[in-house]
Amino acid sequence: MDKVEVVVIGAGVVGLAVARELAQRGRDVVIAEAVSAFGTGISSRNIEVIHAGLYYPAGSLKARLCVRGKSLLYDYCAARGIGHRRCGKLVVATRTADLLRLEQIAAVGLANGVEDLRLLGQVEALALEPALRAAGALLSPSSGIVDSHGLMTALLADAEAAGATLALASPVTAGSREGDGWRLRVGTDFELGAQCVVNAAGLFAAQVATSLGTPAPQMRFARGHYFSLAGRAPFSRLIYPLPVDGGLGVHLTLDLGGQARFGPDVQWLADTDPAGLDYAVDPALAPVFEAEVRGYWPGLPPGALQPAYSGVRPKLSSQGQAAADFSIDASLPGLVQLFGIESPGLTASLALAEEVADRF
């Protein structure tokens, strides 16, 4: 049986960040990825936003790691030449009755250490983004966007430069505690020994936990659809409505080329098998999206939205419940398991990596 110091299960942005951090701390690391390429799961189906830390309860892992991760991510992208832009974002109240909710979001952000927020009246908001419909807005200057694939490529390059190895098409199918480490089955018949294991398998994290003979939380999945815009949007910042149950509302984000995307909506799924998820986007959803978007952009041209893609979030809470925090389970020796790593997981990835590395 081959032996290694650390096995990181999953080569999404969080798994790669963890592998990089551990390798740079001198650990011997193998990244076991179930499919034939890295970053093809949750990390490939998001809107590439760098979040400021506005929505998460003070003291939560999401709040702390988002704010810390944002700072680390901007510095890392600048140092490594990764495409990114600190474009800022407006959270918009379209009715006077909703202005209090903007104040509440600003208070949460301030409690989390986000100190650059500004509440704007209607005149100020429209001066920044004249195409908006808004009674007021919350400006978050430190929100931004990032090239997520470029980020993952750089993380992998750093990890490999520090001695880590990426093993593709290498699903961990079983495991058990053995001595002072872990014995893993990779694929159908390959055995690998590890002193430490990190379960960063995203949508499959609960299944991996079960295969290791360890308890797993009940996971629920929520699908979000995205539509793209034919033509250019008249906005230079990200535009967010007020949050909704399970998400942040159908918002407008920009890619690094300036093209607009809209989403996600929130569709709670009964399916709990991540291998069988359907990622199709029904074109019939376009009128629903148009209605949502026209709430803050009344000038959206008819028929301008086109189906783009969808993504699925692993959630530790159910429909109608308050959003659950990230779960970092280090209750067993030599094993750290990450559950419910949804938004702001991309923003928090480098901070999550520090947190995991400190658990060993």
Query: 194-245 pLDDT, tens per residue?
Result: 999 999 999 999 999 999 999 999 999 999 999 999 888 999 999 999 988 7
* CB 290, CB 300: distance < 8 Å: yes
What is the band of 1 on the pLDDT scale with cuts at 50, 70, 90?
confident
Strands (E), 172-219: 172-178, 181-186, 190-199
Which of 206, 178, 164, 174 has its CA nearest to residue 333?
178
Query: 48-103 pLDDT, tens per residue?
Result: 999 999 999 999 999 999 999 999 999 999 999 999 999 999 999 999 999 999 99
Averaged pLDDT, 29-50:
96
Averaged pLDDT, 155-182:
97
Q: What is the pLDDT of residue 333?
A: 95
Averaged pLDDT, 118-124:
98
Of all residues in the chain, the percent with pLDDT exceeding 70 is: 100
Tokens of 292: 């949502």
* Share in percent of the chain as helix, strand, coil (round to 5): 30, 30, 40
Domains of the chain and CATH, by start: 2-46+149-218+323-358 (3.50.50.60), 88-142+219-315 (3.30.9.10)
| 268 three-class SS | strand
Report which secondary-structure segment, H or E, holds 338.
strand 335-339
